[in-house]
Amino acid sequence: MKGTADFIKMKLDKEKIVMVTAYDYISAGIAKEAGIDIVLVGDSLATTVQGKNNTIGVTLEEMIYHTKIVKSALTDFFVVCDMPFMSYQVSSEQALINAGRILKESGANGVKMEGGELIAKTVKKITETGIPVVAHIGLMPQFINVLGGYKVQGRIESQVERLVNDAVSLEKAGAFMIVLEAMPEEAALSIQSNISIPTIGIGAGRYTDGQVLVFYDAVGMLDKKPPKFVKKFADSRTLIVNALKSYKEEVKNGSFPAEENIYK
């Protein structure tokens, strides 16, 4: 199994780190079979599996449940679980208790938290306890009600300076990896040149140490147009819809079940 030191080594060796989200046994198994380096049970669980408008409503219990089933396919594999909104913001103590619950109850190997310098104290407390933390800055979907939409960050100098400060504080606090979401690649480069932990981009351009995509976006299963930074590496939705259409047609015309599907 890869550990935090392996991801840092991959950065040093200039080997790109590939992360994808997974939410269940099937998607996790597929990610492993494809040779993905690290799996994230993202709180995008809310907007994909649960069909919600944003990630605010997903609960700690739901994150633990999905991470547990992901881990049943990935026993020997580094899995990160997103800490959902309001599971780490009230106090560092509560954050530590909840991060501990995630590791103990789901089997996750680390947690991810959205936020900059303001959560550095909490990140420190959690990492000092032996829980690996992935930080997440730039566009932070848990701030949707402040941002008023999923908007690109780091387009102006003052924002880039703040992002660099955030990244530096999170590294100092012990985060072993940082997700950079939705920013011009120049902003990602500025962050990257000020820290030594691996950067994982999602809509942050070409120069980060790795990339992360939401499973359903990458395989083309969603029913809506994905954001600009997504590449649909397959059109699985069409493939599956066609498979179900064939199933329906064969049941209707009596060609399924066929001889080979019948018990003797």
The residues annotated as belonging to the active site are: 181
Tokens of 114: 């959205």
Per CB under 6 A, does 21 bind ligand KIV? yes
CB 206 within 8 A of CB 220: no
Residue 138 CB, nearest distance to ligand KIV (Å)? 10
d(CA 135, CA 154): 17
Residue 41 CB, nearest distance to ligand KIV (Å)? 8
Q: What is the dihedral of CA 46, 198, 37, 81, to 10 degrees?
A: -30
Footprint of ligand KIV on 59-88 (CB under 6 A): 82
Per CB under 6 A, does 170 bind ligand KIV? no
Per CB under 6 A, does 36 bind ligand KIV? no
CB 174 within 8 A of CB 128: yes
Report the residue from 38, 179, 189, 219 that binds ligand KIV according to the rule CB under 6 A: 179
Per CB under 6 A, does 209 bind ligand KIV? no
Report the residue from 202, 204, 219, 221 that binds ligand KIV according to the rule CB under 6 A: 202
d(CA 170, CA 165): 9
Report the residue from 4, 42, 183, 198 that binds ligand KIV according to the rule CB under 6 A: 42
- 151: CB partners within 8 A, 6+ apart: 139, 182
Q: Which is nearer to ligand KIV, 189 or 202 (CB)?
A: 202
Residue 21 CB, nearest distance to ligand KIV (Å)? 4
Angle at alpha carbon of residue 106, lines to 199 and 52, rounded to 5°: 70
Residues near ligand KIV, by CB under 6 A: 21, 40, 42-44, 82, 136, 179, 202, 212, 214
